[in-house]
């Protein structure tokens, strides 16, 4: 009998002989035996950081003996991607980021230092979220639909503008999708974050803004903003009275952003599959469900193969949108 088999039999006998204890869960064999880190390309305190820390707690003792979160902010998330790209293929370095880092950046950055398909092993999605297109005090109160807004923009071309959280973001290009679907050439006004963009709409400095849905919700409820549509395939649970652009006849305006997890290239499939399974279990816990609800996120998980297919499809989807915009970044 091999040493491995003797150990397995002894472990099984011990499990039957001993009563369950509070420490039993943490003492179960883990997928990898070394500490793991979730490398984030964004600062601490944001939604992604909060979600990652909750997931890290759930992965500790199931996927790895310990799992910590390390913020390597900068370069719009690219620093973290480069770090994991160069890491050992043993599952100890995990990155979580928005889909943009994999599906938009290859089209936006002329000198991107990684290939999202070749330089990472996909693991799983973590959550999805959609965008809301809102208008404010600059636009007359009777304007309530995308069609009415388009008519107002055509009558007031100098005021036809929309804000977003910044150039090169998914919100930026989702706004361009809306603009083209309405037959407009709206001026894009980038801000350093979604909140300043919304404040400009509320204050009447710009006509509209497109934001991650959780950001405009308080203003919509207070009546300071009007939501013309949401970009997801279905209405948002948190804004059920607002129709999607698709159901209003704009079939090309269907955009969902998602957070996803990747590990280093050439990581063995059993490790990636096990991490995906443990993430799925974590996402289904009540604590994560509540954290998602507070941010208007929808729980989402996938197999590594499904995430790979999503990234490939979205890479193809965004290529013509970015090309048509003429927007690129040299750095």
Cα–Cα distance between 218 and 197 in angstroms, integer? 14
Q: Which CATH class is domain 130-230?
A: alpha beta
Phi–psi pair at 94, nearest 5 degrees: -120, 135
pLDDT in tens, the chain (331 residues): 444 343 343 333 333 333 444 444 345 678 999 999 999 999 998 889 999 999 999 999 999 999 999 999 999 999 999 999 999 999 999 999 999 999 999 999 999 999 999 999 999 999 999 999 999 999 999 999 999 999 999 999 999 999 999 999 999 999 999 999 999 999 999 998 899 999 999 999 999 999 999 999 999 999 999 999 999 999 998 899 999 999 999 998 999 999 999 999 999 999 999 999 999 999 999 999 999 998 889 999 999 999 999 999 999 999 999 999 999 998 7
**Cβ neighbours around 255 below 10 Å, total:** 24
Identify the CATH class of 33-128+257-325. Answer: alpha beta
Global pTM value? 0.85
The three-state secondary structure class of 255 is coil
Spatial separation of the C-alpha atoms in residues 207 and 266, rounded to whole Å: 48
Residue boundaries of the structural domains of the chain: 33-128+257-325, 130-230
Same fold, 33-128+257-325 and 130-230: yes
């Amino acid at each position: 009998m091999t040493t491995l088999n003797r150990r397995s039999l002894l472990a099984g006998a011990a499990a039957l002989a001993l009563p369950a204890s509070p420490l039993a869960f943490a003492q179960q064999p883990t997928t990898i035996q070394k500490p793991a880190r979730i490398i984030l390309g964004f600062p601490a305190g944001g939604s992604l950081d909060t979600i990652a820390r909750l997931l890290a707690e759930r992965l500790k003792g199931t996927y790895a003996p310990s799992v910590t979160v390390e913020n390597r902010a900068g370069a719009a998330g690219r620093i973290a991607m480069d770090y994991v790209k160069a890491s050992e293929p043993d599952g100890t370095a995990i990155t979580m980021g928005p889909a943009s880092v994999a599906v938009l950046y290859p089209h936006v950055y002329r000198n991107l230092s990684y290939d999202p398909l070749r330089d990472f092993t996909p693991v799983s999605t973590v959550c999805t979220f959609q965008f809301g297109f809102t208008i404010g005090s600059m636009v007359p109160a009777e304007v309530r639909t995308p069609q009415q807004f388009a008519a107002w923009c055509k009558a007031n071309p100098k005021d036809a503008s929309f804000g977003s959280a910044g150039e090169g973001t998914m919100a930026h290009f989702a706004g361009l999708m809306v603009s083209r679907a309405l037959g407009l050439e709206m001026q894009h006004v980038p801000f350093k974050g979604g909140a300043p963009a919304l404040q400009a709409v509320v204050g009447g400095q710009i006509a509209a803004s497109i934001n991650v849905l959780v950001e405009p919700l308080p203003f919509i409820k207070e009546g300071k903003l009007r939501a013309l549509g949401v970009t997801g395939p279905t209405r948002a649970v948190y804004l059920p009275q607002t129709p999607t652009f698709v159901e209003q006849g704009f079939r090309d305006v269907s955009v969902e952003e998602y957070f996803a997890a990747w590990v280093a290239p050439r990581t063995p499939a059993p490790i990636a599959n096990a991490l995906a399974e443990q993430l799925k279990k974590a996402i289904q816990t009540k604590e994560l469900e509540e954290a998602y609800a507070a941010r208007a996120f929808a729980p989402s998980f996938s197999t590594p193969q499904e995430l790979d297919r999503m990234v490939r499809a979205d890479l193809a989807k965004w290529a013509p949108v970015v090309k048509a915009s003429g927007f690129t970044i040299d750095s």
